[in-house]
Amino acid sequence: MSDESPYRVEERAAQPYAYVSDDSVYMDRFDVIADRFGEVFGWLGRRGIEPVGPVFFKYDVINMPGPMHLEAGVPIAASVDGDDTVRTGELPAGRYVVVRHHGHPDSLMQATTDLLAWAESQGLEFDEWQTPEGHTWASRTEWYYSDPVEVPDQNDWETELAFKLR
């Protein structure tokens, strides 16, 4: 039996991306942001821009159980200008705590709780702070490696959590 931890700390380069955002996402109505990836892909396609990795959610502000500010993003090779509908940005370079999760998205809340507890046990500090809107993060992402068309059973999905350290 291996004692190797599933968690790792890794250095990541800055990553340009295109996204749509919503500042009124509730956990029980996650579809309001999840259903918007098509807008980003359509926007990229009209500009001849290819994605360079899996889709992700970026949790900018968490205010449980109230509304959260989330982005539905797609990584791209280079920075471009966004518009009123699809914006562009850059995930910051730095050290991240990363863990791979196999299973239904409903189990990601527990995976997140476990990641936060592991980081605390290691004395690691996240790049986050409190604001009047809620708990704000420099970069807290969920990367979805499974295409729902190819992997229709959500219990078989592969997701990666990556949270930026201070």
In a domain, 81, yes or no: yes
In a domain, 1, yes or no: no
Domain count, the chain: 1
**Quick one: which of 89, 114, 85, 87 has its CA closest to 99?**
114
Residue 67 belongs to a domain with what CATH number? 3.20.80.10
pTM of the model: 0.91
In a domain, 58, yes or no: yes
Question: 136: domain range?
Answer: 11-164
In a domain, 80, yes or no: yes
Number of neighbouring beta carbons within 10 Å of residue 48: 6
**pLDDT mean values, one per 10 residues, the chain (166 residues):** 80 98 76 85 96 96 84 96 95 98 91 96 96 93 92 94 97
In a domain, 2, yes or no: no
Q: Residue 17: helix, strand or coil by DSSP? A: strand
